[in-house]
Every structure is written in structure tokens, then in C-alpha cells.
Amino acid sequence: MHTTTIRTRFAPSPTGFMHIGGVRTALYAYLIAKHSGGQFLLRIEDTDRERYVEGAVDAIYRSLRDCGLNWDEGPDVGGAVGPYVQSERRELYREYAERLLELGGAFRDGDAIRQKIPREGSTTFHDAVYGEITVPNDSASMNEGVLLKSDGLPTYNFANVVDDHLMGITHVVRGSEYLSSDAKYDLLYRSFGWEIPTYVTVPLIMRDATHKLSKRAGDPTYEDLIAEGFLPQAILNYVALLGWSPGGEREFYTLPELADAFDIRGISKSPALFDKVKLRYFNAHYIREMPVDELAAMIRPRIPAELDARLLAPLLHQRIETLGDVGDESRLKLRFLWDFSEDYALTLFDNKKAKTNAAVALGVLTHLLPELERLEPWSLDEIAALLTTAVERLELKTGAVFGALRVAVSGESATPGGPAELCEVLGRAESLRRVRIAINRLEQLGGVLDEED
Ligand code: GLU
């Protein structure tokens, strides 16, 4: 049996940061190769010097490695069919342009070389996603575009064909903006007498019903999403489903699971909608799945140094959807942990359901203060046990005791985590300081109320 090893490539132009469409193209190319034990290549397409952005190549390497899309061959890892940077392949393009002239597939136009299009008939090509497409060979449909510019550098339209052939690419995965040029690429392959690879054109990604996702319109790049606190595996999982469906209900896939499941037949022609709310949902899943100490390491750079990330992480584990939620008060009230304002409303201590009010809270806190002062060790279990004992001793509702301490240490009526967790995160000194502030203020309030009597 004759089997060809599948070889795919991601061929970004170093023109800026990695956009979401780029991540998806890279991912699909990777998955098609890995699904059948093939090779995934990285090729840098830098022949358009005007659009070249310094640092963009490193950003591409970083983003791909960050999400585990490791390439088998590429500029920095080498391989048998290099170099993998187009600007280092200049001589090759000239050589092949000359050969194409001899074969009658091109003509000279001054210092440039243009593609020769036979003007009669039509060209039919096949795309794995969009099917069979026929384009008339007339000048309105196919122009005799430049292949080699007068500066000796190739255009994309020429370089992609030469490189994909020389690099043994079997499946060309790319965005739908290239679909209209595939007929011209077919003509080039035929002029050279080369085997035509399988085109796998992926659908557009939209920001809404009528607009493409666009950096200029403020849509995030991969790097932006990471900075906002999305996890690489969540981005990959979500992006995989933007234009591809595994069939069935399953949503969550790791990268190896995606490689197992991926099938070109599941790629859709219709545009896919990028939905950040859905991405948050995927991200929340991956946060909940991760070990809590891993989460602690990830939130450490996002919280003030005086807070212990190990103690805070369990509070956040089931509550945040992105790492960025940690600093977003509209999503999760946490600010009181490091930025405590002492003048919260004392009415927070009133709670009918827990049969408590400011006077009861003062009694609770006065009872708790010395107990907390001598508690050993200062741990979640010990603090919780102390509170349970206090509930029995004071013959109050649980809510009255827990609520009083919660308000005292947070200045909030609702908090992520109970008072014992908050005290543990805050540490003994800060917790006691806040309890004393509450006692002070409640005592003054009592004085005011007495005078009014
Ligand atoms: N350099 C092209 C781009 O970044 C690559 C297109 C392709 O994958 O062939 O859009």
C-alpha cells in the first residue's frame, strides 16, 4: 500500500501579533498533520518588506509554543527542506521563475516576471471544504499577476506554490481570502508539472453578523486574550470549534484529544462567530479543572504582594472565569482584601433573617476578639472551629456570628468565601485590626444611640 505522510504548514507573515484567525489556521494545520502522525511545519513569509514588523517573528514563536503547537520543522528547529524563512530563499524563486518562463507559464514584463494565463476555457480546482470551483480564464477573473518583482523578491502568489511544493506540503490550510486565487495556483502547479496539494480553506471568523473579526475594530489578538487572563488550552479548545464541529455534544477537548477527533469533513463553509462569553465559559472549565496550586501560581502576578496566593486560590478556584476576573470588581468583589475602606455602612451588621443587628454584632465581635487573639495555629480549620463554638456559646444563629465577622473583616455583606477563609487569607494581624475597627465604630454608634434614648 502506498501511503504519503501528511505534511502541513503554518505560513504566517510577520506583520504583527498573532490574531485569532492565525491561531485557528495554525491549529487546524497542526491537527490535520497530527491526526495521522504527519508533520507540521512553520514557514515565515517575510517577502513583503514594507509590512514587516520587528519582533513579530518572536511573537509568533512564543504564541505557538505557548499553546503547544510545536512544529517539526521550521526556522529555528531546522529540517531537510529549509531554509524556512522566505527571505533566505530568494535564489530559489528566481531559479523557478526562470524555469516557468521556459515552460511557458510566465512572461517577462520589464524587470518583473508575470504569470501567463491561457485566455481560453476555464480552470477547475478542488477545495476540501468548498468543493469544486470553476473560474473562467478571462482577464476579469484571472489577472496575469506579478510572480517575481523587479527587486527579485517573489509575491505571495508565487512563493507559496514553490515553497509548498519544495517542502512536500500535502494539505494547504489557509483563510478564505485566498480561495479566489486557488485557480491561479492550480495553473502554476500544472505548468511546473507538480502534484497539486489538497486545499483546505477555512471559513471567516466574524465579530458580528456582518463584520469580520478585526484587530483594528478592537478585537483581541491571542496575546490580548492571554493578558486578559484566558488560558492557552481554553483558547485552543474554543478556537477549534470556530468553524469545525466534531459532531455530537462534546465540547471539551485537550490538544491531543482534538488531534484524535479532527476530521477535515467537519470543517464548515459558513462564517463562525467569535463569542467572548462562550470563550469565558470554556476558560472557566479549564480553571476549575486545574490543580489549585497551579492556579495560585497564575494569580500571583495579579494580586498585591502582601496577599498569599496559595490561600487566596481556593476562594477563586470555582468562582472566576478568567484570571483577569481577579482584578475586576464588576465580576468579583475582592478589592477589600488589599484595599480596605473603614467607613462601610454599619447597617451591614443588621440582618433580620439572622436575627441580628449592630448591638448583637458588637457583642459577637467583643467575644471573638480575645479568642482570635490567642488562637493557635491561625488556620482555616481552627478559625472555623472557633466560630462554631462561639455560635453555641452565645446561643445565636450561625448567620449572626459568621455575618458579624464577615462584615468586620470585609466591609461587605457578601464575599467570595466565608469569614474563616477571609481571616485566613488576611492573616492574623490584619484580621484583628479590622475586628478592632468594627468594635470601635459599633461602640461609638452605641453611644450615639444611647444619647438619643
Ligand atoms: N503569509 C500568508 C498570511 O499570513 C499565509 C497564507 C497561507 O497560509 O498560505 O496570510
pLDDT digits (tens, 9 = 90+) for 8-66: 999 999 998 899 999 999 999 999 999 999 999 999 999 888 888 889 999 999 999 99
Active-site option among 116, 149, 215, 333: 215
pLDDT at 51: 86
Q: Is the CB of 12 under 6 A from ligand 1?
A: yes
CA 46 / ligand 1 centre spacing (Å): 10
Probe target for ligand 1 pocket from 13, 24, 44, 85, with the most ligand atoms within 8 Å of CB: 13
| 3-class secondary-structure state, position 78 | strand
Indicate whether 5 pLDDT > 60: yes
Indicate whether 87 pLDDT > 90: yes
Q: Is the CB of 174 under 6 A from ligand 1?
A: yes
How do residues 276-285 score in pLDDT, each as one tens digit? 999 999 999 9
Say what percent of the chain tops pLDDT 90.
Answer: 91
pLDDT at 50: 85
Among the atoms of ligand 1, which is closest to the Cα of residue 12? 4
Measure the CA–CA gap between 89 and 95, rounded to whole angstroms.
Answer: 10
| Amino acid of residue 312 | L
Q: Is 215 a catalytic residue?
A: yes
Cell numbers describing residue 277: 462569553
Task: Write b or e for each residue in 111-131: b if 16 or more Cβ atoms lie within 10 A of its Cβ, otherwise e.
Answer: ebbbbbbeeeeebebebbbbe
CA 157 / ligand 1 centre spacing (Å): 10
pLDDT at 1: 46
Indicate whether 448 pLDDT > 80: no
Q: 186, 197 in Cβ contact below 8 A?
A: no
How do residues 394-405 score in pLDDT, each as one tens digit? 999 999 999 999
Task: Write b or e for each residue in 199-229: b if 16 or more Cβ atoms lie within 10 A of its Cβ, otherwise e.
Answer: bbbbbbbbbeeeeebeeeeebbbbbbbbebb
Indicate whether 188 pLDDT > 60: yes
pLDDT at 452: 47
In the chain, domain spans = 7-83+204-277, 89-202, 290-337, 346-452
Indicate whether 453 pLDDT > 50: no
Mean pLDDT of the chain: 95
Among the atoms of ligand 1, which is closest to the Cα of residue 10? 8
Stated pTM of the model? 0.92
Q: Is the CB of 45 under 6 A from ligand 1?
A: yes
How do residues 115-141 score in pLDDT, each as one tens digit? 999 999 999 999 999 999 999 999 889
pLDDT at 449: 61
Q: Is the CB of 13 under 6 A from ligand 1?
A: yes
pLDDT at 3: 67
How do residues 321-342 score in pLDDT, each as one tens digit? 999 999 899 999 999 999 999 9
Q: Is the CB of 46 under 6 A from ligand 1?
A: no
Q: Is the CB of 154 under 6 A from ligand 1?
A: no
CA 245 / ligand 1 centre spacing (Å): 23
Indicate whether 211 pLDDT > 60: yes
How do residues 146-161 score in pLDDT, each as one tens digit? 999 999 999 999 999 9
**CATH of range 7-83+204-277; options 3.40.50.620, 3.40.50.300, 3.40.50.1100, 3.40.50.2000:** 3.40.50.620
Over residues 155-175, the mean pLDDT reads 97
Q: What would you report as the CA-atom Rg of the chain, rounded to the nearest whole angstrom?
A: 32
Over residues 248-256, the mean pLDDT reads 96
Element (H, E) at 224: helix 222-227
* Region 89-202: CATH code: 3.40.50.620
Q: Confidence class of residue 447 from pLDDT cuts 50, 70 and 90?
A: low
CA distances from 434 to 82, 382, 429 (A): 65, 19, 9
CA 180 / ligand 1 centre spacing (Å): 14
Q: Confidence class of residue 209 from pLDDT cuts 50, 70 and 90?
A: very high
Fold: same for 7-83+204-277 and 89-202: yes
**CATH of range 346-452; options 1.10.10.350, 3.30.390.50, 1.10.490.10, 2.30.30.90:** 1.10.10.350
CA 104 / ligand 1 centre spacing (Å): 27
219-225-229-232 Cα dihedral, nearest 10 degrees: 150
pLDDT-wise least confident of 61-70, 170-179, 213-222, 257-266: 213-222
Probe target for ligand 1 pocket from 45, 47, 84, 185, with the most ligand atoms within 8 Å of CB: 45
